[in-house]
Amino acid sequence: MAGTIAFQGELGAYSHQACAQARPDFTPVPCQTFEDVVEMTRSGEVDLGMLAVENSTYGRVADVHSLLPRAGLHIVDEAFVRVHVNLLGIRGTRVEDVREAHGHVVILPQCASYLKAHGIRGVVSSDNARAAREAAEANDPSRAALASEMAATIYGLDVLAAHIEDNQNNTTRFLVMSRTPDHARRAEKMITTFTFRVRNIPAALYKALGGFATNGVNMTKLESYMVGGSFTATEFYSDIEGHPDDAPVARALEELRFFTTELNLLGVYPADRTVR
């Protein structure tokens, strides 16, 4: 029996698109913030949560990286969504009628060239799907939205110009979060995600990561970020290829533990075959 999956944004958001792609049988539940997604999933109000973690053009979603280690949730899947930015307007509108386009602060730079070429002013909105809904409600041909084809369908708007993003490989990575881990699955390529803090000794990070090199474990991501606003407390977020039960991964993680004060396993899950 299919369940429910929470996402940040309104119906028609790219996170909604990710839910439809990764869990097509689940009922999507919109939330205002990432924190709401985490809390609804943790409390059991929904079965799963969908969180955006990084975009190929914009970079990482900092809010989510700070949430993940203390969310009490587990990553059970990843989904890469091709982000096509479309100029949406009310029915019968022409591109030359549009004076301003509303979209999230992350979306506006991704189609800056198109907007400049057509003399359209970008206006920040809290959510792309909300921008589409509000454009429909305003019923003003001079006001457009930057959003997905899904949003156009939901809110009854025309796609005035399709795929106007500057970077044609624009992709967002999402993580599917659950209250319970699922480490039993096996796939041709597995991803293990974790966070850690190194001990306060010389060359601690170098020594901590040495086990991955000597055991031939491929580390596909390593990012650092401050903890609690302190310049002296740094946490690292990492993705590696493999399963913790694989002998090389197990040896590398054991060596990592020796040089860390904290190691938090966030998830073990199959790699999304559509991208990796």
Residues 18, 59, single domain; the answer is: yes
Note the pLDDT tens digit of each residue in 112-121.
Answer: 999 999 999 9
What's the number of domains the chain is made of? Answer: 3
Average pLDDT over residues 27-46: 96
Note the pLDDT tens digit of each residue in 195-240.
Answer: 999 887 888 889 899 999 999 999 999 988 776 666 555 789 999 9
Instruction: Write down the pLDDT at residue 230.
Output: 60
β-pairing, 219-227 vs 230-241, is antiparallel
> What H or E segment, with its residue span, contains residue 198?
strand 190-198
Share of the chain above pLDDT 90, in %: 73
pLDDT higher at 198 or 59: 198
pLDDT higher at 38 or 227: 38
Instruction: Write down the pLDDT at residue 3.
Output: 95
27 falls within a domain: yes
Average pLDDT over residues 115-142: 96
Residues 77, 97, single domain; the answer is: no
pLDDT of 16 above 70: yes
Average pLDDT value for the chain: 92
Instruction: Write down the pLDDT at residue 1.
Output: 54
Confidence band, pLDDT 50/70/90 cuts, at residue 68: confident
Residues 30, 136, single domain; the answer is: no
Residues 43, 174, single domain; the answer is: yes
* Enclosing domain of residue 199: 190-270
> Judging by beta carbons within 10 Å of its beta carbon (0-12, 13-18, 19+), is residue 63 exposed, middle or buried?
middle
Residues 194, 246, single domain; the answer is: yes
pLDDT of 92 above 60: yes
Question: Has 214 been annotated as catalytic?
Answer: no
Instruction: Write down the pLDDT at residue 229.
Output: 60
16 falls within a domain: yes
CATH number at residue 115: 3.40.190.10
Distance CA 85, CA 114 (A): 11
Q: Catalytic: which of 7, 174, 194, 259?
A: 174
CA dihedral sign, ordered 205, 209, 214, 219? negative
Cβ neighbours for 29, distance < 8 A, ≥ 6 positions apart: 4, 5, 6, 7, 40, 45, 46
Q: Catalytic: which of 172, 192, 195, 260?
A: 172
Question: Has 174 been annotated as catalytic?
Answer: yes
Lowest mean pLDDT among 54-68, 90-104, 252-266: 54-68
Instruction: Write down the pLDDT at residue 70.
Output: 84
Map tokens 């999402």 to a residue: 174
Secondary structure of residue 97 in the 3-state scheme = helix
Instruction: Write down the pLDDT at residue 27.
Output: 97
111 falls within a domain: yes
Residues 104, 41, single domain; the answer is: no
Residues 143, 10, single domain; the answer is: no
Cβ neighbours for 200, distance < 8 A, ≥ 6 positions apart: none
